[in-house]
Amino acid sequence: MSLLTVSGLTKRFGGVVANRDISFTVRPGELVGVIGPNGAGKSTLFDVITGFARPDSGTVHVDGHDVTRLRPDQICRLGVARTFQKLRPFHGMTTLENVMIGAFGRTNDVNAARRAAWEALERVGLGDRADAHARGLSTGQRKRLELARALATGPRLLLLDEVTGGVDPGAIPGLIALVRELHARGLALVVIEHNMGVIMDIAQRVVALQLGEVIADAPPADIMRDQRVIDAYLGEAWRV
Amino acid sequence: MKRALAAIVVLAVLAFPLVFARPFPRHVMIMIFLYGALATAWNVLAGYCGQISLGHAVYFGIGAYTSTLLIREAALTPWLGMPAGAALAVLVSQVIGYPVFRLRGHYFAIATIGVGEIVQTLFINWDWAGGARGLFVPIKRPDSLLNLQFHESKAVYYYIALGLLALALGVTHWLERSRRGYVFRAIREDQDAAASVGVHVAREKHVAIAVSAALTALGGTFWAQYVLFIDPESVFPLSLSILISLVAVLGGVGSLWGPVLGAAILVPLSEGTRVLLGGTGKALDLVIYGALIMLIAVFQPSGVIGLARRFRRDRRQATGAAQASSA
């Protein structure tokens, strides 16, 4: 059975159709990439799946539960965590405290949450910055912080909105390695990414969006040959 | 060193009424405790959870009216009226919270002002609650703890007010170290991000306002017993809601001791200008408040407590540098 099932999802903002009749699935442990030009509806899709926006029609199921009308915190508790394209750490709190908030979804005990947060920070390689304030971190470190905060909730599915966007090029390989490692440990991931080299490398399957619609859903090798994807997004340089 | 200092402060506060027998210094201290407690209560919702309420007079007034009406209608001791007022304030806060918590930032603050004005207008027109004329607390002699009335000396009021402040600080301290303290701060920083990692934002806000409203209502009952007369003009005004927030902001929001520090600065200032200048200096204390708030907002947004922290940090760095250079 699939872990995430999106079927017939449509989301309008006034006259603009941000998502039109979108359907796709994610199996447990799968790594799915989402690509598409700016304004294709990628982040809106994440917002609808995680309960931050209500769809006009269509449904979202997580592990058989209908989550279409649930709040973000309820969806998170069902095992779906996300990061934001525009990073949103809790600025006035330390790195450790940021991650503790994620851990509180699983425990009410402060010490247990602190331990879980430490583990998550070690996992993303931020253990040495535990006491730093979030506002003092670099962009790459903040991406790791958001990852740790999401991981601390104990997700089965992680939605990552632009892992490498805005990050110093030197920090990109480390982040990619981290995503690979999470995937290797059995976590299912949906990754929005503009860096085609990265997405074609790590994804098992790629969903391409254009103007709110799915124009292709296939393994990376096939996506690169898909004429509609090339026209809409990749450009001729990617033709194999 | 730090413990010894704390012990000295506690002893000094406890012994104060024994040294100062005259009413005025005791009155100033009582007002510091009361405003300290109210600002601490406000700080739970506004400082930690980030929901800037400018309508807290509602809960203060409910505390004052509940106990006073229960004394008048049912001859109930204010010691029972006090928790009854707190319970009613919690109930009202939940009803108010349901619509206004949908609003964020400035819009939330504006809505709380609106709610405060509505409640004041209701009480002005409610004849069963004394209407605009207000209510006297029936005078009971001789002084007794049961009736919470003391006409001969302010000493007992002093310790009760101190108890209220201690309770508010105790609750805040406990919250600060529990799961809720962390979650409240996360909501203050970014409520969407908090929701994305499993925080039930609406429920947490309702808990924050319940705690805040209950503590504020206790202060309202105390005030009614202290002045023995209440009316909508004195317990429900917008100016009180704003004053409570000013005290907290001046001292430092989101910290345990900030609101108390704010009360210790603003209350003597207000009482002092009132005594020194009398009617001619009306509202001069507000002019000084305004100037202080502007200075704090520009130079030290974290409040006076932020100044103290900075001073301590600078000194630590200075001694660290001195040790390094001598080594």
Dump pLDDT digits (tens) for B1-56. Answer: 788 999 999 999 999 999 998 999 999 999 999 999 999 999 999 999 999 999 99
CATH code, B59: 1.10.3470
Q: A101: which chain B residues are within 8 Å (Cβ-Cβ)?
A: 182-183, 186, 194, 197, 199
Are A34 and A123 within one domain?
A: no
User: B177 to chain A: which residues are within 8 Å by CB?
Assistant: 110
B7 domain-assigned: no
Q: Could you list the residue range(s) of the whole structural domain that residue A162 is in?
A: 4-79+155-238
Q: Does pLDDT of B291 surpass 80?
A: yes
Which of A153, A171, A193 lies at the terminal end of a domain, its last residue? Answer: A153
Domain contains A131: yes
Are both A135 and A225 inside the same structural domain? no
Is B141 domain-assigned?
A: yes
Partner B contacted by A154 (CB < 8 A): no
Per-residue pLDDT, A183: 96
A120-143 pLDDT per residue, tens: 999 999 999 999 999 889 989 999
Query: Mutual orientation of helices A139-151 and A110-124 as an angle, nearest 10°?
Result: 130
Are B200 and A93 inside 8 Å of each other by CB?
A: no
Structural element, H or E, at residue B136 = strand B135-136
Same domain, A104 and A34: no
pLDDT digits (tens, 9 = 90+) for B180-234: 999 999 999 999 999 999 999 999 999 999 999 999 999 999 999 999 999 999 9
> Does A84 reside within a domain?
no
Q: How far apart are CA B186 and CA B297, in angstroms?
A: 23
Structure tokens at A232: 């809409």
| CA dist., res. A224 & res. A196, Å (int) | 10
Read off the CATH number of the domain in which A13 is found: 3.40.50.300
> Is the ipTM here above 0.90?
yes
Beta-carbon separation of B198 and A105 below 8 A? yes
Q: Looking at the predicted structure, is the pLDDT value of residue B72 above 90?
A: yes
On whether residue B243 sits in a domain, the answer given is yes
Average pLDDT, chain B: 91
Tally of structural domains, chain A: 2
Tokens representing residue B71 in the block: 């004394």
Task: Quote the CA–CA distance of B286 and A30 in Å, as a whole number.
Answer: 64
For chain A, state the CA radius of gyration: 18
Inter-chain contact A101–B177, Cβ cutoff 8 Å?
no
Q: Quick one: pLDDT band at residue B263, thresholds 50, 70, 90?
A: very high
Tell me the Cα Rg of chain B. Answer: 21
| B233 in contact with chain A, both atoms CB, cutoff 8 A | no
Q: Which of A100, A123, A153 is the last residue of a domain?
A: A153
Q: What is the pLDDT of residues A42-63, one digit of tens each?
A: 999 999 999 999 999 999 999 9
Q: Cβ B194–A152 below 8 Å, yes or no? A: no
Q: How far apart are the first and last CA of chain B?
A: 25
Residue (of A46, A26, A68) closest to A187 by Cα position: A26
Within 25-84 of A, beta carbons closer than 8 Å to B belong to: 50, 52, 71-73, 76-77, 81-82, 84
The answer to whether residue A212 is domain-embedded is: yes
Q: Say if residue A234 is in the same domain as residue A159.
A: yes
- Cβ separation A52–B183 shorter than 8 A: no
Q: How many domains does chain B have?
A: 1
Q: Is the peptide bond before B25 cis (omega within 30 degrees of 0)?
A: no
Which pair of structure tokens corresponds to residue B161? 């007010």
CB B256, CB B90: distance < 8 Å: no
**A101 → closest Cβ in B178, B194, B200:** B194
Q: Is residue B90 part of a domain?
A: yes
Interface contacts A/B by beta carbons within 8 Å:
79
B10 lies in some domain: no
Which is higher by pLDDT, B313 or A69?
A69
Q: Does a structural domain hold residue B40?
A: yes
| pLDDT greater at residue B88 or residue A162 | B88
> What confidence category does residue B118 fall into, taking pLDDT thresholds of 50, 70 and 90?
very high
Q: Which domain, by its residues, includes B192?
A: 26-326
Nearest to B199 among A50, A88, A101 (CB): A101
Q: Which residues on chain B are in Cβ contact (under 8 Å) with A50?
A: 196
- For the residues B281-310, what does the mean pLDDT come to? 78
- Inter-CA distances, A31 with A135, A188, A207, B156, Å: 31, 6, 11, 69
Inspect the interface and report whether the beta carbons of B196 and A93 lie closer than 8 Å.
Answer: no
What integer best gives the mean pLDDT of chain A?
Answer: 93
Query: In degrees, to the nearest 5, what angle opens at C-alpha A95 toward C-alphas A93 and A96?
Result: 100
Same domain assignment for residues A144 and A184: no
Q: What pLDDT does B153 receive? A: 87
Shared-domain flag, residues A103 and A191: no
> Is the same domain home to A149 and A180?
no
Closest Cα in chain A to B183: A101
CB B60 within 8 A of CB B217: yes
What's the pLDDT score for residue B282?
64
Q: What is the DSSP letter of B281?
A: G
